[in-house]
Structure 1
Amino acid sequence: MSLLVSAAFAALLALPSFSEKIPITLDIVNAFGAPDGFNRSMVTANGTYPGPLITATKGDTLVVTVNNLLDDSSMRLSTSLDFDGLWVNTPDAFNEGSSFVTTCPIAPNASYTYTVPLVDNQTGTFWYHSQLSVQYVDGLRGALIVYDPDDPLKDLYDVDDENTIWQVGDWWHNSTLPMLAGYVATGIVPVSDSGTFNGVGRYNGGPEVPFFVVNVVQGTRYRFRIINTSARNVFTMSIDSHNMTIIETDGTATSPMTVNSIDMLAGQRHSVVVEANQPVANYWINAPYVGGSPARNLNQNATLSRAILRYAGAPEEDPSSPMSLGPADEDLNALVEANLRPLVAAPAPEADINVTLNLVVTAGKAQWNVNNVSYLAPEVPTLLKILDGANSTDDFNVTENTFVFPPNKIVQVIFPPSEDDEEHPFHLHGNNFWLIKSNSSEELNTENPIKRDVAGVGSTGTIMRFSTANPGPWFFHCHIFWHLQAGLATVMASGLDETRKEVHPTQAWNDLCPAYEALPPELQ
């Protein structure tokens, strides 16, 4: 099958629905494509990279049917889908999509329907991707937007539609199975060949694939929703001669903050308002990235990671200005994460429980530890163990690194400063957290901290708090998926009795594990 560049199909899925239930069908297929000019077999949703845009309106329910039609044995043949950033209430925990935490993967030639109510008036910018091993590195990722007809910040922008979504991501020419084997053998995380902007990129010595073009009209204000769909890379976003006003962070409405450069870790999202207030011309959208030494992959040239902001009336050509990495130091007004504030100020609740998580890598090995434990996915999903009677940490394997908390408590997670030179984007599934201390600052903020679901953990230390008022087993892991695969993960399980009372899986969910376990290894 060939990769379909199907803007029309994506737009169809993006049309607003007047139904409370949004039916979506994703055929997970292998398709050949060349996002950066290098042709390879990929794992895709409906044959496209990125996958089809999914949209909904506040209060809707997503009904996503996944048909696993994968047949290329050079990559994983089973699959599982996660809806990154969406809150999942306890009764729906079995549809959360985390392989071996809340579900088993979907076997080849099988189907499963995820029913995900959009709860608590949640709106904002999200995405979906495979949650099986490092499979989304092979292409299974796409945007998911929940619109708010009553957006309190809508007077700041004029346009917010399927054409104002920016998905940046790292891209590899090799498939994941040999890269993962190389990582296990050497402990060296694979370095991407390129970066893509809405599925388009370039690499050193490769063909000059036309840059993605973002069309604007002079005098119009645009809400651009930026999603870092990487499995490793940190992207630095900027637009020549234009400022960006941040109004959303990981689904949280943000007190407007104007900057000209934003660092985005894997899994993070921001909405920014950009006013097309410059002379009619073409301008570079800069999206350079870092993620491992370029010396380990000579294809990599972060300067080639970019797109074009084209004003109506400008010639159809590349900007005349040089390709830069963003604003010069003397002009830099970069986002400092610690300065983000929610639109509606509210204090963080006091912590009832404190947990310290120390992250350590085993030298020379593809092994990461959290409190001296390297996470290893169990054969029986965590949720199934809870439903079968697990009551305490002792009822889980040590390598499941499962923390058990009572319901209706506030847990404070402390990541001490790390000597590791890489910032780890820790992501909480099914919920979000108050960011009490950002890795970007020494400041402690309990008065009006931002709430988000991905935050960096690194050299200065990070502190976050989350509530256990939503019982269930929720994956909490590094969104550098190579590190996750090497053990940099935990499960935050709360209210086990309440989970048993409220979670009633369907027969289709019950059938997933026996079907997957019956597969020979090459089909898993």
Structure 2
Amino acid sequence: MSSSLSSPMMQFLLALPALLAAMKANAGAASPIKEYTLDIVNGPVSPDGFTRIGVLANGTFPGPPMLVTKGDTLRVTVNNKLTDNSMRLSTSIDFDGIFTNTDNVFNEGSPFVTTCPFGPGASYTYEVPLGNQTGSYWYHSQLSVQYADGLRGVVVIYDPEDAQAHLYDVDDESTIWTVADWWHNTSVSGLAGYLATQIIPVADSGLFNAAGRYNTGPLTPYAVQTVTKGTRYRFRIINISARSDFTISIDNHTMTVIETDGTPTSPLEVNVLDVLVGQRYSVVVTADQPIGNYWINSILGGGNPAHNSNLNVTLGRGILRYEGAPAVEPSGPMTLGPAVPNALVESNLHPLVPIPAPEPDYNLTFVTNMPAGQTVWQINGIAYISPVVPTLVKILDGASTDADFNQTENTFVFPANKVIQVTFPPDPANELHPFHLHGNNFWVVKSNATETINTVDPIRRDVAGTASGGMILRFTTDKPGPWFFHCHIFYHFVAGLGSVIVGGPDEIRQQVHPTEGWDALCPAYNALPANEQR
């Protein structure tokens, strides 16, 4: 058989390299890669005026913000350069609230669930396609309580086609607000004290945009948010605390909620917003008051100040300063909020695009408790203890049922593409637990603050709090994988208040093909001396 350069097949073969190059270019255009490098170091930090050594990303607290766009792929290289053995020397990074596709679940960053931590001198690159997800998120160390030492920062996924863009004029890095609790002692000493006394360490200070004060401390300048009269601002409020909730208000101003944990929300006007650990909200604030300085009230909740004389819950605040106003603190008093509060009620939140909660295929009931005389938190009588072999490794090696995991792994296995309902009964002790589901979000069918059951248009989010009212959540296993489901008060979590939800073990084995870099993590971690595994 003869061929010629003019034959259709030969023309195709000659054109093939160019076609492949074009396809690669188009793929790159469809999913741009945004690269970040985090050098995790021990260095000085003093957000409230007290200088201590922390665990910091690129030497700063918070770490550098990751500002990306819908459709991007986030590629983050983390270099562990920790040296201070008074704190944990290994680390692992979780991207809180960001969905993870099944075929990429090994990049999810949960120690001993989806991965192993890595020690000093080691590096790992997380690659996370963001797909169509948008909204406000954050990253932090998921190892023990390490992020209380400073390893936390924000991730914002901007939406060029935001359906609510007409409601605001400004939405950029300058309008990201973080609230955080802060300790003068290390998380290692704090955890040791908690285990010995059953008293969770109370923060020394609360911080608004990485600035705050403590009793008898220096008059550290408050963070200032500058606004122009007549302009509408989208403020993204992200609680990057390890323990504390914050109650947010702005003197003489209202806030219109338009996003809840990444879910676009039907506009809801409030003047007080309670933000639990790990929760995020976007609010629109119009600069419509006389030019001047106004307190941003950021009131820390969580813990008895009698357990730490440094804490003054009113001192973790900021200043809303209009252009043209003098550079001074507001003349008004530091209050706890408006005299006539119109506080956010979670059950009043509804998605901009409602998706009804499907009927459950499986029902779980989670009863949380701490046995008398023990610093152990339990779900249904079991305290979670991290296994030596990560959950994902066990699944890839054949684990398929609850019985294939140790009881202390508190692991629940379900088929793929099912609906799971988790009911948290009311807690007579009124202990607050903000539960967070990794890699997914859930419908809040019943919120803690109401008895109303809403399956028509409940809010979807990934952190919701249960206490004396209890709550009911539903989620699907449409993204097969092992997902942490735990209290985001990390002292509770590390003391046992956690579980793992596994969806579709067969699908996991079919779809998950980890990289050599991931394969090397557990052998390297297991070979570390004990002091570096902490």
State whether TM-score is above 0.5. Answer: yes
Cross-structure match for 1:116: 128
1:368 aligns with 2:380: no
1:153 aligns with 2:160: no
What displacement does 1:365 show? 2.2
Cross-structure match for 2:75: 63
Residues 278-427 of structure 1 aligned to structure 2 (within 5 Å)? 278-328=289-339, 331-427=340-436
Distance of 1:250 and 1:363 partners within structure 2: 35
Distance of 2:429 and 2:110 partners within structure 1: 27
Distance of 1:186 and 1:363 partners within structure 2: 12
Distance of 1:345 and 1:452 partners within structure 2: 13
The Cα offsets for residues 173-207 of structure 1, whole Å up to 9 and x where unpaired, read as: 00011111111111111111000111111000000
Q: CA distance change for structure 1 residues 19 and 91 in 2, over 3 Å: closer, same or farther? A: closer
Which of these residues, 519, 525, 530, is aligned with residue 521 of structure 1?
A: 530
1:182 aligns with 2:193: yes
What displacement does 1:364 show? 2.9
Distance of 1:270 and 1:367 partners within structure 2: 31
Which of these residues, 443, 458, 467, is aligned with residue 452 of structure 2?
A: 443
Distance of 2:230 and 2:334 partners within structure 1: 25
1:195 aligns with 2:206: yes
**Normalization by structure 2: what TM-score?**
0.94
Distance of 1:237 and 1:134 partners within structure 2: 25
Q: SS of 2:436's equivalent?
A: strand
Contact 2:31–2:71 under 8 Å retained in 1? no
Cross-structure match for 2:232: 221
Distance of 1:179 and 1:480 partners within structure 2: 13
1:471 aligns with 2:480: yes
Q: SS of 2:178's equivalent?
A: strand
Distance of 1:365 and 1:136 partners within structure 2: 24
Contact 1:168–1:230 under 8 Å retained in 2? yes
Contact 2:178–2:208 under 8 Å retained in 1? yes
Larger deviation, residues 298-307 vs 412-421: 412-421
Distance of 1:77 and 1:355 partners within structure 2: 37
Larger deviation, residues 338-347 vs 443-452: 338-347
1:46 aligns with 2:58: yes
Residues 122-271 of structure 1 aligned to structure 2 (within 5 Å)? 122-271=133-282
Distance of 1:226 and 1:353 partners within structure 2: 34
Q: What one-letter code is carried by the residue in structure 2 that aligns with 1:311?
A: Y
Distance of 2:371 and 2:311 partners within structure 1: 27
What displacement does 1:271 show? 0.1
Distance of 2:431 and 2:302 partners within structure 1: 9
Contact 1:185–1:365 under 8 Å retained in 2? no
Cross-structure match for 2:465: 456
Contact 2:30–2:71 under 8 Å retained in 1? no
Q: SS of 2:242's equivalent?
A: coil
What displacement does 1:158 show? 0.1
Distance of 2:59 and 2:354 partners within structure 1: 43
The Cα offsets for residues 385-423 of structure 1, whole Å up to 9 and x where unpaired, read as: 000110111110100000000111100010111123221
The Cα offsets for residues 136-179 of structure 1, whole Å up to 9 and x where unpaired, read as: 00000001000000000000000000000000000000001111
Distance of 2:223 and 2:217 partners within structure 1: 16
Q: What one-letter code is carried by the residue in structure 1 that aligns with 2:210?
A: G
What displacement does 1:431 show? 0.4
Cross-structure match for 1:86: 98
Q: State the 4+ residue runs in structure 1 displaced beyond 2 angstroms.
A: none
Distance of 1:448 and 1:497 partners within structure 2: 32
Residues 495-510 of structure 1 aligned to structure 2 (within 5 Å)? 495-510=504-519
Which of these residues, 493, 500, 503, is aligned with residue 491 of structure 1?
A: 500
Cross-structure match for 1:21: 33
Long gaps (5+) in structure 2: 1-28
Q: SS of 1:91's equivalent?
A: helix
Distance of 2:233 and 2:74 partners within structure 1: 26
Q: CA distance change for structure 1 residues 282 and 46 in 2, over 3 Å: closer, same or farther? A: same
Contact 2:34–2:72 under 8 Å retained in 1? yes
Distance of 1:363 and 1:320 partners within structure 2: 48
Q: SS of 1:201's equivalent?
A: coil
Contact 1:186–1:364 under 8 Å retained in 2? no
Distance of 2:415 and 2:120 partners within structure 1: 38
Cross-structure match for 1:429: 438
Contact 2:200–2:491 under 8 Å retained in 1? yes
Distance of 1:178 and 1:38 partners within structure 2: 17
What displacement does 1:257 show? 0.1
What displacement does 1:19 show? 6.8
Distance of 1:342 and 1:318 partners within structure 2: 37
What displacement does 1:453 show? 0.1
Distance of 1:364 and 1:271 partners within structure 2: 41
Cross-structure match for 1:37: 49
Q: Which has the larger radius of gyration?
A: 2
Distance of 1:216 and 1:365 partners within structure 2: 50
Q: SS of 1:200's equivalent?
A: coil
Distance of 2:306 and 2:498 partners within structure 1: 29
The Cα offsets for residues 98-145 of structure 1, whole Å up to 9 and x where unpaired, read as: 0110000011100000000002x1100000000000000000000100
Q: What one-letter code is carried by the residue in structure 2 that aligns with 1:113?
A: T
Contact 1:186–1:365 under 8 Å retained in 2? no
Alignment RMSD: 0.9
What displacement does 1:289 show? 1.1
What displacement does 1:18 show? 9.6
Distance of 1:181 and 1:521 partners within structure 2: 17
Aligned length: 505
Q: What one-letter code is carried by the residue in structure 1 that aligns with 2:144?
A: S
Cross-structure match for 1:13: none
Q: What one-letter code is carried by the residue in structure 2 that aligns with 1:351?
A: P
